[in-house]
Structure 1
Amino acid sequence: MPHTPLPPRHRANAKSMRRVMTDAELKLWNELRAHRLMGLGFRRQFPIAGYIVDFACPEKRLVVEVDGSQHGDAGLAEADGSRTSRLEQDGWTVLRFWNDDVIRDIDNVCQHIVITAGLAGPI
């Protein structure tokens, strides 16, 4: 997959973010990494269209974001909406989950990802 040119600062930010994942991101990454979820290949802290998304499955053009409570604030929620719109313009499907959903109900989060990716059957 060809990569879009990325400023070195963005690449460094993505690399740094991989080292300091939240508990919810780490829990989800343990389900997604190494093609563990129905063979889907995910990348973490992946740069797309000037943004760094939490998780991306380039093959299915699927982005998964894990949001903390601060994303409920009006300003950040508006920025998230703009970001989602921009990614969708480029053909990506964006799923957003709250940290609490990932921590408490990882099985249903994974099931939703599988269904959105167009894969049927139990996990």
Structure 2
Amino acid sequence: MSERVFNLKNYQYLRVKLRSNMPEPERRLWRHIRGRQLGVKFRRQHGIGIFIVDFYCSEKHLFIELDGASHFTEEAQLYDRDRSEYLQDVGLEVVRFTNAQIMNELDSVLQVLLHKVQ
């Protein structure tokens, strides 16, 4: 890939702002995936093209998205679909969870992630 797509400078301020204002489901998941707890390194609020993904693992070309209530409108679902297609087109795999899954089924979520990164 000749053109730079990761962590574009013009989105740096937004990435930093998102990291400092993580919703509770993102904080909860981060506590369990940071520091190579699953055997691979994840980055939070990582820029890929014009998008910022919740969590990204460069070793496995995998990104994790957490979907809160705002993701369930028709407009948001179309945006998420287009965004996922772009990210898949650059060779990345997406794993999506709802905030409710993180808050209520964290062990199951971690098992899915562990399977994905092994």
TM-score (norm 1): 0.88
Read off the aligned partner of 1:46 and give its amino acid letter. Answer: H
1:89-123, CA deviations, whole angstroms, 9 ceiling, x for partnerless residues? 01100011000100111111111112122x2xxxx
1:6 Cα deviation from its structure 2 partner: 5.0
Any gaps of 5 or more consecutive residues in structure 1?
A: none
Q: Secondary structure at the match of 1:47?
A: strand
Distance in 1 (alpha carbons) for counterparts of 2:116 and 2:6: 28
Read off the aligned partner of 1:34 and give its amino acid letter. Answer: G
Q: Secondary structure at the match of 1:54?
A: strand
Q: Secondary structure at the match of 1:71?
A: helix
Q: 1:7 to 1:56 in 2, by over 3 A?
A: closer
Give the match for residue 35 of structure 2.
34
Q: 1:46 to 1:60 in 2, by over 3 A?
A: same
CA contact (8 A) 2:87 2:93 kept: yes
Q: Secondary structure at the match of 2:54?
A: strand
TM-score (norm 2): 0.92
The alignment-based identity, stated in percent, is: 31
Structure 1 residues 1-123: aligned runs within 5 Å: 4=5, 6-37=7-38, 39-117=39-117, 119=118
1:69 Cα deviation from its structure 2 partner: 1.3
1:38-66, CA deviations, whole angstroms, 9 ceiling, x for partnerless residues? x1100000001210000000010000001
| Number of aligned positions between the proteins | 115
1:27 Cα deviation from its structure 2 partner: 0.2
Structure 1 stretch displaced more, 58-67 or 8-17:
8-17
Q: Secondary structure at the match of 1:17?
A: helix
